[in-house]
Amino acid sequence: MIVTKAPPLPRLGKSLRRPDGMAKARGVFKFSSDLDEPGMLWGHLVRSPHPAARIAEIDISPARAMAGAAAVLLAGDVPGRPTYGLNYPDQPVFASDEVRHVGEVVAAVAADHPLTARRAAEAVAVRYEVGEPVTDPEVALRAAPVHPLGNVLAEQRVVRGDVAAEGDVVVEGYYETGMQDQAFLGTEAALAVPDGQGGIDIYVATQWLHIDQDQISASLGVPHDQVRVHLAGVGGSFGAREDLSMQIPLCLLALRTGRAVKMVFGREESFLGHVHRHPARMWYRHSADRSGRLVKVEARILLDGGAYLSSSPAVLSNVACFAAGPYRVPNAFVEATCARTNNPPCGAMRGFGSVQVCVAHEAQMDRLAAALGMDPIELRRRNALRPGDDLVTGQVLEGAVPVIELLEACSSAPLPPERHWETTEPGDLALPGGSGRAAEPLRVRRGVGVALGFKNIMFSCAFDDYSVARCRLEGGRVTITTAAAEVGQGLVTLLHQIAGEVLGTDEVVLAEASTVGIGSAGSTSASRQSVMTGGAVQAACQAVADAVLAATAARVGVPRASLQLAGGRVVSDDGCVDVPVAEAGALCGECFEETVTYQHAATAELDEKGQGDAHVAFVFSAHRAVVDVDVDLGLVKVVEMTTAQDVGRVLNPLQLVGQIEGGTSQGVGFAVMEELIVEHGRVRNPSFTDYAIPTALDMPPVRIAALVQEPQPGLPFGAKGAGEPPAISSTAAVLAAVRDATGVAVNRAPVHPPDIALALAPGTRAGQGDAGVTPS
């Protein structure tokens, strides 16, 4: 079902095929790991095996002496700024005096073969004086500083209304989310090519070219314009490529050796070499009156940020803003803190901040419904945000707020047929655990759960967020230039459609994304590119269309005011002129070129009480999960996911479905299988063997119950970004379904089989207390 409140457009809203799709299917699309250059070297990084240690000595001579090794670099070889970081440069390019997490980079080597490079890296002899790591975020807040900047990476309170208010019914709960990995398939890879004059070109899979350029330039001590960052084919990102991975060491190796150098992370190194989703501990207290209206939400939320800052402030701000969920909450007290520890650094991942709190606020809503003896759907309906309401941050919601529509669509969708387990053979694929695990058909229980969530889109909190696009129209052909990173989501298709829409043509070419000759497009994150770079392309094309209109008036000899732009065409009042803009431009025999910067409406910082118009727009999401659980083994099979999404306007239906299904599956994975296990600062499962992501057998069909198209005022075409919302509420919905199936008060994502099986084992009482974990 598509709920449409938007008039159709000629090109937008169609499922145009991806321009790069066939190249990818045929294997000729060049991913960053596919690049090569004659005579290139291979780089490898030396990483700390310890979560906390002092570096006593580094001996590079055995590595240097190795046949085929070309260079070994340490901290002293960094000519410019010795540190880097997305928000603040608190992370050393190479650790020199101490290491703060497992995987921290200590040295880099280049050699003539990747195996030699790896051996040379292993031969770099680092003598560590191993220290005691701080690995518990609660302990970190009281511990000696892990870093000179202290152990509080970010904190934010939200205080609203009367914090002493209390409803008739009170429910409390403790919830946890684990460390999730983005686990994109194309590991980090790049090729750096020195230009022989001190400058460098780097071809890299990244999310934000210009912020890479800023950081690389600062640490290389090479002027900005001599560091040229080019987008190489990206095999997925989901947040993990927003921070630098290898860019600075790789460029340093290339400059030092005077040769092209390529580096490709293996899967284990990828797990160690990028940020993860912040683990969260969340203490909640909800109170409501007897009719189920929320009176107050209190929450204390603690994130583990790991050793370095990365984007923790933005994640934490989201945690605080969205802690209460998409509900009317007159009184609130939220205290959110992100601690620095010796665990792996955490940062951006799809839906950040919202995903974690959704697990908690939705479990609380279910708990409250049970305490009130009320249907959980009805409780949500009663409290759902509506247009014109304000958030706990005091920000008034403008435009579309279809929370109730999403909830209705999801909860009223038909349910999948019940299984008749009595006739099922053991080993049936449909059983929890699939064919390989011995679930007992008669011990399988079905459950259904619903969850709502929401999030900001675009950058918030007074960030200067913009994107630059250039449109060039020559001989009827349109060339669009931006520095926006296509990471798999399909932005390239949308930019084609948008340019075509404004200029009335399908003859659109996208120039390669790079930092050369074009300003920043900002990050491919925060569901922002279809709005921001889409908006910039629309505006640049519109400026070209205006110029074509003026030139056409002069050419035809009519007053400018007698011509208009309509549906990608130049038309005259009398109907004598009616031609697509691109064609009209060709007829003028000129080249038209316009470069435009698109900026969204300004946002404000949150004050110390967490009040302020910090966000430019919001998206809302709903999921319903149906699960089958073997109550003896604790195995969960997700049978079906149903979702409803608030999209503003559908720009490309097929790609939107792809975002929804993909985002939903990452949420399903987080609910039932995905967790980086970190013990004493060490990641125990950095492989696809041990860090399982959903396969085609784990991931059920996704039913899209509704796409609510209510164009958002102030956004280009009224379209909201769609990358993150599908990932927000799916995890919480699956956990709710598991609780429904088992009666176990599952309070943790992901839920592991023992959390269920042990809670239901003979001698325990299901549903008593919180299964899985207890607060430390």
Site for other proteins in 194-223 (CB under 8 A): none
In the complex with ligand FES, the residue whose CB is nearer, 237 or 257, is: 237
Shorter beta-carbon distance to ligand FES: residue 333 or 670: 670
Other beta carbons less than 10 A from residue 78's beta carbon: 21
Neighbours of 768 (CB within 10 A): 11
Would you count residue 114 as binding ligand FES (CB under 6 A)?
no
How far is it, in rounded angstroms, from Cα 204 to Cα 187?
11
Q: Which of 377, 556, 657, 773 binds other proteins (CB under 8 A)?
A: 657
Paired with 233 in beta bridges are 31
- Does position 17 interact with other proteins (CB under 8 A)? The reply is yes
Nearer CB in complex with ligand FES: 402/663: 663
Q: Which residues of 44-58 are buried (b: 16+ CB within 10 A; e: fewer)?
A: bbbbbebbbbebeeb
Judged by CB under 8 A, the residue of 377, 462, 654, 758 near other proteins is: 654
Residue 662 Cβ vs ligand FES, minimum distance, rounded to whole Å: 8
Binding string to ligand FES for residues 139 to 178, with x set by CB under 6 A, is what? ----------------------------------------
Is residue 688 close enough to count as binding other proteins by CB under 8 A?
yes
Least distance between ligand FES and beta carbon 24 (Å): 8
Residue count of the chain: 776
In whole angstroms, the minimum distance from the beta carbon of 652 to ligand FES comes to 16
- Does an H or E element contain 253, and which? helix 247-257
* Contact pick of 61, 412, 695, 774 for other proteins (by CB under 8 A): 695
Closer of 133 and 488 to ligand FES (Cβ) = 488
Q: Which stretch binds other proteins (CB under 8 A): 13-21, 360-368, 394-402, 677-685?
A: 13-21
Using DSSP, state whether 328 is helix, strand or coil.
coil
Using CB under 6 A as the binding rule, whether residue 22 contacts ligand FES is answered as: no
What are the helix (H) ranges across 507-591?
529-556, 581-588
Q: Does 115 bind other proteins (CB under 8 A)?
A: yes
Q: For other proteins, which is the closer residue by CB, 100 or 241?
A: 241
294 contacts 326 by C-beta, under 8 angstroms: no
By the rule CB under 6 A, 85 interacts with ligand FES? no
CB-CB contact of 371 with 183 (8 Å): no
Nearer to ligand FES, 488 or 753 (CB): 488
Residue nearest to ligand FES (CB): 185
Both tokens of 57, joined, read 């000595």
What is the C-alpha to C-alpha distance for residues 382 and 664, in angstroms, rounded to an integer?
A: 26
Pick from 448, 158, 147, 72: nearest CA to 310: 147
2 binding ligand FES? (CB under 6 A): no
Neighbours of 319 (CB within 10 A): 30
Q: Does 267 bind other proteins (CB under 8 A)?
A: yes
Choose one: 107-115, 301-309, 354-362, 515-523; the region binding other proteins (CB under 8 A): 107-115
CB nearer to other proteins: give 338 or 641: 641
Residue 684: CB atoms within 10 Å: 11
Between 185 and 396, CB nearer to ligand FES: 185
236 binds ligand FES (CB under 6 A): yes
SS3 assignment for 96-130: CCEECCCCCEEEEEEECCHHHHHHHHHHCEEEEEE
Q: Reduced to 3 DSSP states, what percent helix, strand and coil does the chain have, rounded to the nearest 5?
A: 30, 25, 45
Determine the Cα–Cα distance for residues 489 and 726; give it in Å rounded to an integer: 13
CA pair distance 614, 607, nearest whole angstrom: 10
Which of 5, 8, 76, 113: binder of other proteins (CB under 8 A)?
Answer: 113
Instruction: Find the binding residues for other proteins in span 63-82 (CB under 8 A).
Output: 66-68
What residues does 626 pair with on adjacent strands?
A: 448, 640
725 touching ligand FES, by CB under 6 A: no
Ranges assigned E (strand) in 425-465:
444-457
Piece of the chain touching other proteins by CB under 8 A; list 81-89, 130-138, 170-178, 234-242: 234-242
Q: Does 681 bind other proteins (CB under 8 A)?
A: no
Selected binder of ligand FES within 103, 178, 249, 488 (CB under 6 A): 488
Q: What angle do CA 178, 181, 187 make, to 5 degrees?
A: 165
Phi, psi of 374, rounded to the nearest 5 degrees: -120, 150
State both tokens at 275. 């940020």
**Cβ(721)–Cβ(617) under 8 Å?**
no
Helix (H, G, I), strand (E, B) or coil at 320: helix
What is the C-alpha R_g of the chain? 27
Contact flag: residue 26 with other proteins (CB under 8 A): yes
Q: How far apart are the first and last CA of the chain?
A: 46
DSSP β-ladder status, 331-339 and 152-160:
antiparallel
Cα 59 to Cα 48, 51, 54, 106, 766, distances in angstroms: 14, 20, 15, 12, 57
Q: How far is the C-alpha of 470 from the C-alpha of 473, rounded, in Å?
A: 10
92 vs 694 by CB, closer to ligand FES: 694
Contacts to other proteins from residues 702-721, by CB under 8 A: 702
Residue 15 binds: one of other proteins, ligand FES, none (C-beta under 5 to 8 A by kind): other proteins
Q: Which of 138, 609, 661, 714 binds other proteins (CB under 8 A)?
A: 661
* Contact of residue 664 among ligand FES, other proteins, none (CB under 5-8 Å per partner type): other proteins
CB of 624 to ligand FES, least distance (A): 25
Partner whose binding site includes residue 684, from other proteins, ligand FES, none (CB under 5 to 8 Å by kind): none
Shortest CB 700 distance to ligand FES, Å: 17
Pairing of strands 682-683, 678-679: antiparallel
Listed residue (500, 520, 133, 183) closest to 306, CA to CA: 133
Nearest approach in angstroms of CB 625 to ligand FES is 23
CB of 465 to other proteins, least distance (A): 24
**Nearest alpha-carbon partner for 669 in 657, 659, 661:** 661
Among 119, 361, 623, 720, binds other proteins (CB under 8 A): 119
Pick the binder of ligand FES from 23, 163, 185, 566 (CB under 6 A). 185
Q: Which residues bind other proteins (CB under 8 A)?
A: 15, 17-18, 20-22, 24-31, 33-34, 36, 66-68, 113-116, 119, 123, 182-187, 233-236, 238, 264, 266-267, 429, 487-490, 654-655, 657-658, 661-666, 687-689, 693-697, 699, 701-702
Residues that bind ligand FES (CB under 6 A): 185, 236, 488
